[in-house]
Amino acid sequence: MTPPRLGVALGAAAAGGILGSLARAGLTSWLPVADGFPWTVFWINVVGSAVLAALPALAAVRRTPWLGVFLGTGVLGGFTTMSTASEQTAALFEHHHALTGILYCAGTLAAAVVAVFAVSRWVPAPDRLAADAAGVDE
């Protein structure tokens, strides 16, 4: 499967990115974290990573190039965030919560990688390659 044309891909990424970002903004304002462990963004990044790893298992995503970009690059790319994770970690260090910062930074990466690894084991390798070729995780 080939990636969708650039114009289609940009539109799909924008539409999905809006939805994913709104979901992230909604969750973080609904479940605010003051100065402790940033659990809300932790779960956003871990769950978003696991769902992205599961997308290639959906036949519709493999058959419909723009759908993979919409859901993967758009919704999940917009939902998860490296910038907030980094900024929150830096802020924890800055506010003398170094241990929480280290646990947050290392914990998010470890949990996300373990979740992706676990999900990937259930997705056939050809499906993962097809989704990769279509640019699902750009």
Within 13 A of 68's CA, how many CA atoms are on the CB side? 30
Find out whether 25 and 91 touch, Cβ atoms under 8 Å: no
Contact call for residue 138 and other proteins (CB under 8 A): yes
Cβ-based nearer residue to other proteins, 63 or 94: 94
Q: Is 128 near other proteins (CB under 8 A)? A: yes
The rounded distance, in Å, linking the Cα atoms of 2 and 33 is 42
- Structure tokens of 20? 């994913």
CB atoms within 10 A of CB 85: 20
Taking CB under 8 A as the criterion, the residue among 53, 61, 67, 134 binding other proteins is: 53
Judged by CB under 8 A, the residue of 38, 76, 100, 126 near other proteins is 76
Token representation of residue 114 = 């373990």
Q: Which is nearer to other proteins, 64 or 138 (CB)?
A: 138
The residue count for binding other proteins (CB under 8 A) is: 58
Q: Taking a C-beta distance cutoff of 8 angstroms, is the pair 137, 68 a contact?
A: no
Q: Rule CB under 8 A: choose which of 65, 72, 100, 134 binds other proteins.
A: 72
In angstroms, the CA 71 to CA 19 distance is: 10
Which residues form the interface with other proteins (CB under 8 A)?
Answer: 3, 6, 9-11, 13-14, 16-18, 20-22, 24-25, 28-29, 45, 48-49, 51-53, 69, 72-74, 76-87, 89-91, 93-94, 105, 108-109, 112-113, 115-117, 120, 128, 132, 135, 137-138
